[in-house]
A and B are shown apart, each in its own frame.
Chain A
Amino acid sequence: MIGLSRRAATAPRPGAMPPTDFPAALLRHPSGRWGLALCLLLLGAAAAGPWLAPHPPNLPDYAATLRPPGPGHWLGTDAMGRDQLSRLLDGARRSLGGAAAVTAAITLVGLLVGSLAALSGRWIDAALMRLVDVVMALPGLIVAFGVLGLLGPGYLNLLIALAAADWAYKARIARACALEAVRSPAAMVAREIGVPEWRVLAQHVLPSVLWPLLVLATLGLGGQIAAISAFSFLGLGVQVPHAEWGAMLAESRFHFQIAPWLLLAPALCIFVAVLASNLLGEALRDIATPEARS
């Protein structure tokens, strides 16, 4: 349900590099254009949230509870009289920012573990890869439940749990790409003409590991947004009184009959955010693996 297990998604082949006209290729791709536009819109709204929000997100107003959308409160108010638009904008920072943080963390861990395995000796490589095998044999969502159970509920703990659930596949891909790049003709020639090893790594190996990881990261972004909101919906992530789209859905449930806007607006936000990152991810994947384009 939460998309962590969609890790079977096609990964770019080791050695694949972004096309030279990368930004143009992204804009040419139909879903890339839309995905990018929607993502920028959402990120802009989240970043500018404090300035855009008409009211403080956590300030109750018991004189104006469950107001329908209208002037003053464009998207209505919740059961405590808090302005829904302001809470959605504030929640975007946790829903989207959290997903971005988790994705950045697993990409970094994947990069470090994968490159370490690829570049170090047999024993470290074997040990790291067996660990990766075991973690990958566990379903991501279940790992997240387990880690969250260890750490206890909370927003930061949720982010750690989601990162722990999803780093292994990235590490495996990073290792494969790094192995390929270290042995590539370009890297060998560079070494041959006396380029120091750190420059070979920085100029030849790093880019060819980063690009597939970037594609994978974007493909996984939607799943992370969904996971953060799902766990927060269960009360295991963002804690009251802070706003988060999933947590807002949980609060809205009991007032749905009289205030359906409280349910619809956060649901729509989650939908648009996941859709936008899926579109962007699919576009990047198509650009990265032109032969697999359907």
Chain B
Amino acid sequence: MNGSRFAGARGWPRALGRIGLQAGLAALGASVLVWAMLPLAPGDPVDMILAARRIEEPTAAQIAELRARFGLDLPLWQRYLHWLGGVLRGDLGLSWRTGEPVAEALLRRLPATLQLVGLSLAVSVVWSLALALIAVRWAGRWPDRLVMAYTRVFAAIPAFVLALLVLQFVVVGLGLGRVLSGGAGITLVLAAVVLGIDRAAGWTQLLRATLAEQMARGPADVARARGAREARILAVIALPPALLPWLTALGISVGGLIGGAPVLETIFTWPGVGAYLLQALSVRDVPVIQAFVLIAVLAYVAVSSSVDALALLIDPRLRAPREGRA
């Protein structure tokens, strides 16, 4: 995530190529780990499939059929390549519990989860940006202290607790319960606001700290000496360099948003992957969990590489070879 990984890159194409290469390697490494869940799962997979389907006394023919169907007799490396080939063709295997293709079941539910994650990302970006700018504009005065106290408090409330409190006190308190039961848009907005606001606390703290640092540096002092207004210095001089570490942190915590989504979906009964995943977790339906982990990891790698590429756009120094840097 820091600049050193671009050392030696000359200009755009090579820097971008490097990001792409690293993303590809990370995805490949992750795919090995995710695949390894299958052979690593304690117990014979056949027993687990039978348990997930609640078949108590299987016949020998049933066992042999399952072995052949799930490719359990092949050597490990063949199983990996076979699995990877399937993944590349969009085949994520069969659910142990239901026997239906995992990819189809997940794809049906994924759009709802992506809506939730996307909207909460937007909420937290706007919210943390606004709060941090307010805090630094009035640094040390009451708005700053208020923002800091606010971020302290919200950093200590896990999203699911906040979601419960909002659901019970705001929604039920205002008599909105009927509105929510239909899985309507308002559910999405509420869940996204809760998840986004929860995330925003840490990001606000980070952005405020880097903004304050920039405001105390030379360029800001020069602008101040030439009579620029504080708000202008903040927006024009301090904000662009402060955006970079903030963006990186955003990219990293997208993983937290994706992981947090199932919990919020459960609480707000939003029809995303959450309920499906939880069912799979409770009966150890490994292919489903595997597919969720794989998709989440790929999304995460994609987002953090895009952030790296965006960083190139914002900070030209990252594009230059290392020797060229001050």
A-side residues, CB < 8 A to B, are: 1-8, 130, 133-135, 137-146, 148-153, 222, 226, 229-230, 233-236, 246, 249, 253, 256-257, 260, 263, 267, 270-272, 274-275, 278-279, 294
Contacts and interface: CB of A to CB of B under 8 A. Distances in A.
A146 B289 contact: yes
B296 interface: yes
Nearest to A264: B165
B26 A134 contact: yes
Nearest to A256: B168
B255 interface: yes
Nearest to A246: B160
A139 B258 contact: yes
B252 A8 contact: yes
B259 A137 contact: no
Given A5-B252, A5-B256, A270 B158 contact: yes
Contacts of B41: 150
11 contacts: A1-B158, A2-B158, A134-B29, A137-B30, A139-B256, A141-B259, A142-B259, A142-B292, A253-B168, A256-B168, A257-B172
Contacts of B252: 5, 7-8
Contact of B297 (A139, A149, A253, A263): A139
Contacts, number: 174
Contacts of A7: 252
Given A230-B158, A270-B161, A138 B30 contact: yes
Given A139-B300, A275-B153, A1 B257 contact: yes
Contacts of B296: 139, 142, 145
Given A8-B248, A294-B209, A230 B301 contact: no
Contacts of B209: 294
Interface string B30-48: 1011100100111000000
Contacts of A139: 254-256, 258-259, 296-297, 300
B37 A236 contact: no
Contacts of B300: 138-139, 142
A133 B37 contact: no
Interface string B247-274: 0110011111111101110100000000
Contacts of A143: 293
B270 to A, nearest CB: 15
Interface stretch (B8-16, B222-230, B278-286): B278-286
B161 A267 contact: yes
B105 interface: no
Contacts of A256: 168, 172
A107 B33 CA distance: 22
A133 B23 CA distance: 12
A144 B285 CA distance: 15
A270 B165 CA distance: 13
B26 A152 contact: no
A271 to B, nearest CB: 5
Given A146-B37, A151-B42, A278-B152, A4 B256 contact: yes
A235 B41 CA distance: 20
Contacts of B292: 142, 145
A153 B164 CA distance: 22
A153 B34 CA distance: 19
Contacts of A253: 164, 168
Nearest to B27: A137
A255 to B, nearest CB: 11
**Which residue, of B248, B249, B257, B281, has the highest number of chain A Cβ atoms within 10 A?**
B281
B257 A142 contact: no
Contacts of A138: 30, 33, 255, 293, 297, 300
Nearest to A282: B152
A147 B257 CA distance: 18
Interface in B195-248: 195, 198-199, 202, 206, 208-209, 212, 248
B113 to A, nearest CB: 13
B166 to A, nearest CB: 11
A146 B42 CA distance: 13
Contact of A149 (B29, B260, B289): B289
B156 A145 contact: no
A218 B108 CA distance: 41
B95 interface: no
Contacts of A140: 255-256, 259
Contacts of B152: 275, 278-279
A137 B14 CA distance: 22
Interface string B138-169: 00000000000000110111111100110010
Nearest to B292: A145
A18 to B, nearest CB: 23
Nearest to B195: A1
Contact of B263 (A1, A8, A148): A1
A153 B249 CA distance: 31
B131 to A, nearest CB: 15
B277 interface: yes
Contact of B260 (A1, A6, A260): A1
Contacts of B282: 153, 235-236
B290 interface: yes
Given A1-B195, A146-B290, A150-B41, A230 B263 contact: yes
The 4 lowest CB-CB distance pairs between A and B, nearest first, are: A139-B255, A141-B259, A1-B260, A149-B289
Contact of B158 (A135, A149, A229): A229
A8 B161 contact: no
